[in-house]
Homo-oligomer: A and B are copies of this chain.
Amino acid sequence: MKTLIIEDAGKVSFTEKQKPTASKGQVLIKIKAVALNHRDQYIREGKYPGINYGTTLGADACGQVIELGEEVDNKWLNKEVVINPNIEWGDNPRVQSKNYHILGTPTDGVFAEFVAIDENKIAEKPKHMSHEEAAALPLAGMTAFRALFHHGQLETSQKVLISGVGGGVAQFAFQFALASTSEVYVTSGNAEKRAKCIELGAKGAFNYKEEDWTKQAKEQAGGFDLVIDSAGGSGLNDFIKLMKPAGRIVFYGATTGKPKDLDLFRMFWNQITLQGSTMASDQEFHQMIEFVNTHKIKPIIDSTVAFDEIISQFDKMKEGKQFGKLVAKF
């Protein structure tokens, strides 16, 4: 079968591998569509811990169950499903285990025609989604879900700011927040993305490249109960200034690096939380699927190409011009 592997730092390539079979407790899935995450591009660039060259890439996929291993519930046969990319989260809902990793490195991922996977790692494809939309959901949807609800403790009527809303996780955080409260604000350096978010229901959209954006945000929103961020860096101080007392800043990345200083004084007096977050537990995978079903949320797709053209989606991700997930289908 055809797979996309990380051949060497800087190089991904198509390779034929043997079609897997469903072992005991597993299902065999014929993949219909897959989606990219930033980590796929980071792995391509050799900038990810624990890369095992030769590994099939990819964390996110939607497909159809075509074969059942021993002891697997018959209900799965022919079902369309999405895959939970977690491997060994472990028993603790508060944090992943030491052996935790994500499909696609160092364990073979889903950028392949067929994938064999444990029965407990799949969920039915939401019926309101296409294969492409369902493929776009798991990793970014889980990360957003945990950041907003487990760590962020988002409540109805709270004011939430989603920073850098171009990214995949940020977009899910934006959509999930919109389904939970009417007071959702975003930041983006891109005018089109800001306009798009207003169109979709954001109450305000700020350009973090403008020096006085925090002033604008203060005037328009008053203050935030929750910020969801993945930029980190000294921009965290902007959020600290904008938080309501007892506000929470949840971050799942630090693309601008470490902060040069951090206003601890305002943080302790206002009892602010700075909370690191990553991915989500297996339980949250299922909760997130239920949430998108309840609220009929559809992932935002930037573009879909044929699987044979998937490398062009890596290039697009590197440029960072997309609004929505980058998908490839069989």
Residues of A in contact with B, size category: 20 to 34
A265 touches B269 (CB 8 A): no
| Stoichiometry (number of copies) | 2
Interface contact B273-A278, CB-CB below 8 Å: no
Q: Are B275 and A252 in contact (CB under 8 A)?
A: no
Inter-chain contact B246/A268, CB cutoff 8 Å = no
Q: Are A264 and B258 in contact (CB under 8 A)?
A: yes
Judge whether A259 is part of the interface by a CB distance below 8 angstroms: yes
A36 within 8 A of B: no
B residues in contact with A251, CB < 8 Å: 264, 267-268
A260 close to chain B: CB less than 8 A: yes
Name the residue on B nearest A263 (C-beta).
B258
A274 within 8 Å of B by Cβ? yes
A277 close to chain B: CB less than 8 A = yes
Inter-subunit contact B264/A271 (CB<8 Å): no
Is the CB–CB distance between A264 and B268 below 8 Å? no
What is the minimal beta-carbon distance from A157 to any residue of chain B, in angstroms?
14
Contacting pair A262 B273 (CB below 8 A): no
Partner of A262 from the list B151, B262, B270, B277 (CB cut-off 8 Å) is B262
A272 to B251: give the CA distance in the assembly, Å: 10
- Docked pose: A84 CA to B156 CA in angstroms: 34
Q: What secondary structure prevails in chain A residues at the interface with B?
A: loop
A265 to B274, CA, bound (A): 13
Cross-chain contact B268 with A254 (CB below 8 angstroms): yes
Q: Are A269 and B276 in contact (CB under 8 A)?
A: yes
Bound Cα distance A232, B275 (Å): 16
Q: How far is the CA of A281 from the CA of B269 in the complex (A)?
A: 13
Checking B232, B245, B253, B278 against A95 with a beta-carbon cut-off of 8 angstroms, the contacting residue is B245
A92 CB-CB contact with B under 8 Å: yes
A267–B267 Cα distance when bound, in Å, is 17
Is A96 an interface residue when CB atoms closer than 8 A count as contact?
yes
* Cβ contacts under 8 Å, A265 to chain B: 254, 258
A277 interface neighbour in B253, B263, B268, B275, Cβ under 8 Å: B268
A273 touches B276 (CB 8 A): yes
Instruction: Tell me the complex Cα distance, A269–B252, Å.
Output: 8
- B residues in contact with A252, CB < 8 Å: 268
A151 to B274, CA, bound (A): 12
A contacts, CB < 8 Å to B = 92, 94-96, 151, 232, 245-246, 251-254, 257-265, 267-278
Instruction: Please list 28 pairs of residues, one from A and one from B, whose beta carbons are closer than 8 Å in the complex, sorted by A's number.
Output: A92-B246, A94-B246, A94-B271, A95-B245, A95-B271, A96-B245, A96-B271, A151-B271, A232-B264, A252-B268, A253-B268, A258-B262, A258-B264, A258-B265, A259-B259, A259-B261, A259-B262, A264-B276, A267-B274, A268-B276, A268-B277, A269-B276, A271-B277, A271-B278, A272-B275, A273-B275, A273-B276, A274-B275
